[in-house]
Amino acid sequence: MTGFVLAAALVVLLVLALLLWPLLRAGAAAPPSRRQLNAAIYREQMARLDQDLADDAIGAADHAQARTELQRRVLQDTALEDAAPGLRAPKRTLAGIAVLLPVVAFGLYFLIGNPAGMNPAAVATPSQDDVERMVAGLAAKLEKDPSNLKGWAMLGRSYKVMGRPVEAERAYDRAGAFLDSDAQLLADYADVAAANAGGDFAGKPARLIARALQADPQNAMALWLAGTAAMGAGQNDKAIAIWDSLMKLLPPGSEDARMLQSAIDEVRGRAGGGAKSAPVAVAAAAATAGASVSGTVELAPALKGKVAPDDTVMVIARLPGSRMPVAVLRVRGAQLPMKFTLDDSLAMSPQSLISTATQVEVEARISRSGLARPEPGDLISPPQTVKVGAKDVTLNVAQVRP
């Protein structure tokens, strides 16, 4: 709001300067009158006649006649009043303009403008219905102009965020060559294609992932999907290699890095390729009887159509006021509704265990990408603060993250 008022004031000052500058200059120096100008012209003409006579350019009779004519014209012109007075700038006029212009400008804005728009709190956030209407409007426009490939890509992403993978894949299909240079859009396309294929990455999803990595070999989502596809095909070593390369791109110690490390450890455990990493192994060994939180994750009926079987359901426990999880459980969307238990075996760090806390903040989140970082379109439950040892916690996933 302050920025808008300052900008408006500067514009008003600029307009005042443009309007008042000519008046101020006019008041500083009055222009010569018409009589003065005419007298100067006649004096010049009289001097020329005298010079012509001296140079024998005209005779004495012609000189006398021309001089008499000039004198007559001088008498006539000097007898007339000036046609208009010179432009004046009275102080009252200047003061009136300087005061009235800002008052009128701001008065008109408050009369026909939108003063409430200056208050950020007054700007309404679009509801889910508003978003769906806008997306439906975009779809209708694209049906009339199917050559708008960028529009189809935008529609595909919108449908994906809204949890409508079937419509998202159809829109991405029609985006065509526009996707070729955008690794993120290709990864989104592969994600919805795999979801619509029941989690099978073979065929179309695998080709899309390959195109995404060709466009950007370091795209995080494409690498995550490539590792997931390799794991689904039983190629655990390949999945670990891909996710190891993704790990190098993540900030060390970040939540995404911890979640990815947990997934790598899980694959290694399945493949028998070695023990879990030290933090997880220590956490598992430190599990204490009764030091857990358990309950049920439920999905609101209105959101049941927005969850694919291979979406990732994360149940997360944090210390109140902290972003670092003390326990994370990851399961597939097909398991909803589900029972859960969070204990030290699901710890992200041996220095931060649920058994050492007295209370934790618990929430559930359903993600298409499976990444730890919350994203628009994730389905979430309201966080609940409960005591460690609570057994009947109900997490109701009923909101869509904007």
For residue 394, pLDDT beyond 80? yes
Stronger pLDDT, 108 or 242, i.e. the higher one: 242
- What residues contact 251, with CB distance under 8 A and at least 6 apart? 257
For residue 283, pLDDT beyond 80? no
Query: pLDDT > 90: what percent of the chain?
Result: 17
Average pLDDT over residues 163-180: 86
Sign, CA dihedral 338-341-345-351, equals positive
pLDDT of residue 127: 57
Stronger pLDDT, 26 or 224, i.e. the higher one: 224
pLDDT of residue 88: 54
Structure tokens at 26: 């006019």
Quote the CA–CA distance of 186 and 176 in Å, as a whole number.
11
The domains spanning 128-278 and 284-400 adopt the same CATH topology: no
Quote the CA–CA distance of 351 and 280 in Å, as a whole number.
11
For residue 119, pLDDT beyond 60? no
pLDDT of residue 295: 94
* Most confident residue range from 160-174, 176-190, 270-284: 176-190
Average pLDDT over residues 64-92: 64
Structure tokens at 368: 């298409």
Domains of the chain, residue spans? 2-120, 128-278, 284-400
For residue 2, pLDDT beyond 70? no
Q: Write the secondary structure of the chain as one string of H (helix), E (strand) and C (coil).
A: CHHHHHHHHHHHHHHHHHHHHHHHHHHHCCCCCHHHHHHHHHHHHHHHHHHHHHCCCCCHHHHHHHHHHHHHHHHHHHHCCCCCCCCCCCHHHHHHHHHHHHHHHHHHHHHHCCHHHHCHHHCCCCCHHHHHHHHHHHHHHHHHCCCCHHHHHHHHHHHHHCCCHHHHHHHHHHHHHHHCCCHHHHHHHHHHHHHHCCCCCCCHHHHHHHHHHHHCCCCHHHHHHHHHHHHHCCCHHHHHHHHHHHHCCCCCCCHHHHHHHHHHHHHHHHHCCCCCCHHHHHHHHCCCCCCCEEEEEEECHHHHHHCCCCCEEEEEEECCCCCCEEEEEEEEHHHCCEEEEECHHHCCECCECHHHCCEEEEEEEEECCCCCCCCCCCEECCCEEEECCCCCEEEEECEECC
Average pLDDT over residues 198-208: 86
C-alpha gyration radius of the chain: 41
For residue 229, pLDDT beyond 90? no
Stronger pLDDT, 112 or 292, i.e. the higher one: 292
For residue 145, pLDDT beyond 90? no
pLDDT of residue 25: 63
Q: Which of 210-214, 310-314, 370-374, 393-397 has the lowest mean pLDDT?
A: 370-374
Average per-residue pLDDT for the chain = 78
The band of 344, judged by pLDDT with boundaries at 50, 70 and 90, is confident
Stronger pLDDT, 170 or 41, i.e. the higher one: 170
Structure tokens at 4: 């808008």
For residue 369, pLDDT beyond 80? no
Average pLDDT over residues 376-391: 90
Quote the CA–CA distance of 52 and 63 in Å, as a whole number.
8
Average pLDDT over residues 134-139: 86
The band of 45, judged by pLDDT with boundaries at 50, 70 and 90, is confident
The band of 129, judged by pLDDT with boundaries at 50, 70 and 90, is low
Residue of 275, 277, 281, 273 lying closest to 247 (CA atoms): 277
Quote the CA–CA distance of 49 and 66 in Å, as a whole number.
8
pLDDT of residue 281: 39
- The correct CATH number of 284-400 out of 3.20.20.30, 2.70.210.12, 2.60.40.1120, 1.10.10.10 is 2.60.40.1120
Q: Which of 114-128, 191-205, 264-278 has the lowest mean pLDDT?
A: 114-128
Beta strand 293-299 with 393-397: parallel, antiparallel or unpaired? parallel
CATH fold of 128-278, please? Answer: 1.25.40
Average pLDDT over residues 234-241: 87
For residue 19, pLDDT beyond 80? no
Q: Which of 18-32, 170-184, 314-328, 388-402 has the lowest mean pLDDT?
A: 18-32
Structure tokens at 287: 């599990």
The band of 299, judged by pLDDT with boundaries at 50, 70 and 90, is very high
Phi then psi for residue 75, to 5 deg, are -65, -40
